[in-house]
Amino acid sequence: MSRRYFISLNLTGKTCLVVGGGQVAERKVHSLLECGARVVVVSPSITPGLTKLIGEDKLVYRQGYYMVADLDGVFLVIGATNREAVNRQVADDCAARNLIVNIVDDPAKGNFFVPAVVRRGDLTIAVSTDGKSPMLARKIREDLEKTYGAPFGEFLELLGTLRQEVIRNVADQSIKKEILENLVDGEVLSLLKEGCLDKVKERLHSAYRGGRS
């Protein structure tokens, strides 16, 4: 198998279909909603959690069995039923329409895998085993969650602001490169892993001011 091409999709306002109404489908729905997607669920029955989301007007639900017409106007599809034949049909129909599709119980039937993800604000770390071992991906994700804690999210916000200031205010390309490299050095990362965000902020501002002077 050739290597996978990893991308980060913007799902804001995009219609995403989840076929299935169980616990796995519910987890997929939550992850899509977190990305700003417009989620449609098709299933004969759904979990109490999905029912709650319907009551909060956070998703559209069609009660019933999957039909090919459910793919009309859809950008991305996740097949999450407990029936292999249904999931296979979803995969085949999506392939015929060149749609992006993931089949949770057999990712090879679709055309993308969902990686195990660690999110810290705008920092996203994804782990994939190309479907060979979701358990290994989960274990690695759990280790990453311990290593890259909440301070990394706040650090990235500050770093993004300082980076824009450097780009806007420093004309010399060599100085600009040096400042940007000093903003993210090994000591800064070590301090972040220790949770010393205040010290990191001091170092960032010092590196910025020192580079400009």
Tell me the pairing of strands 76-79 and 100-103: parallel
Sign of CA dihedral 93, 96, 102, 108: positive
Question: Which structure tokens are listed for 201?
Answer: 């902020």
pLDDT higher than 60, residue 156: yes
Residue 4's pLDDT is 82
Q: Which CATH number fits domain 1-114: 3.30.70.980, 3.40.50.1820, 3.40.640.10, 3.40.50.720?
A: 3.40.50.720
Identity of the amino acid at 89: Q
* DSSP E strand stretches across the chain: 15-19, 38-43, 59-63, 76-79, 100-103, 116-120, 123-127
The partner residues of 79 in beta bridges, in order of sequence, read 19, 103
Residue 109 DSSP label: G
> What would the pLDDT profile of 30-41 be if each residue is shown by its tens digit?
999 999 999 999
pLDDT higher than 80, residue 61: yes
Can you tell me whether residue 59 is helix, strand or coil?
strand
pLDDT higher than 90, residue 170: no
- CA–CA gap between residue 207 and residue 157 (Å, rounded): 16
Question: Which structure tokens are listed for 12?
Answer: 């804001």
Assigned fold of 116-148 = Double Stranded RNA Binding Domain (3.30.160)
Q: Give CATH 3.30.160 domain extents, the chain.
A: 116-148
Per-residue pLDDT band for 205 (boundaries 50, 70, 90) equals: confident
